[in-house]
Amino acid sequence: MRPFLLQSFLYSFFLLGLLSCKTYQLTEATPVSGSEGTVENLYFSSNEDYVYKCQMDIYKNHVSGILIIKKLNDTTHRVALTSDFGNKLIDFEISDTDFKLHYVLPDLDKKIVINFLRNDFQQLLKQKYPVTGSFENTNSKIYLSEIGKRKHYLFFNKENGLLHQLVYTKNNKEKIVFSFEAKKHIFADSVNLQHKDFKINIKLFQITETE
């Protein structure tokens, strides 16, 4: 990563402290009874490799590469990001509670960058969610999962039962919105990760598809 790009990336995080986050409220949804005990995001549950074209927009800077996600066991994934030319940028193992860094490009070896990646991928790869509330609107069944100060809202399409949106909040502030396009429950054809408290957007587009 070029030095000026890294500098802009770190500056983005500095600006985070100056920006306010929007309070999240579920609108146009009706509570329903008989909620399920647990719901799951199964998009990264296969033992096959998930390979995506990755595009990151960090304020006015653009980074692209290849992202590979591999499920190691029921709780842990391995994630590697390379440049378009095949140079490794970062390689780590991650679960809900653990993070093990195998390699990071020296220019990226900053605590604030590592924490950003750790949080984003913990939210993206989390599979099981205890349900504390259920809702529905015209198009979706919506499940609320509360874990401490963190809340997750999972939106499942009524027609095909596929997860199409995941909203992550902390202290009732909207933090990240994940949008999914998929044809089956174990593989997302595309993923759009949008931060709400600063201008970072990550897009993933399938390269290889699991069976």
Name the residue ranges covered by the structural domains of the chain: 3-208
Q: Determine the residue type at 104.
A: V
pLDDT tens readout for residues 101-124: 999 988 878 888 788 889 999 999
pLDDT tens readout for residues 9-63: 555 544 544 455 567 888 889 999 876 799 999 999 999 999 999 998 876 777 7
Class of domain 3-208: mainly beta
In total, the chain counts a number of residues equal to 211
d(CA 65, CA 83): 4
| Contact (Cβ atoms closer than 8 angstroms) between residue 134 and residue 141 | yes
According to DSSP, the residues that pair with 205 across neighbouring strands are 53, 190
Tokens of 160: 């095909």
130, 146, 134: which is closest to 33 by C-alpha?
134
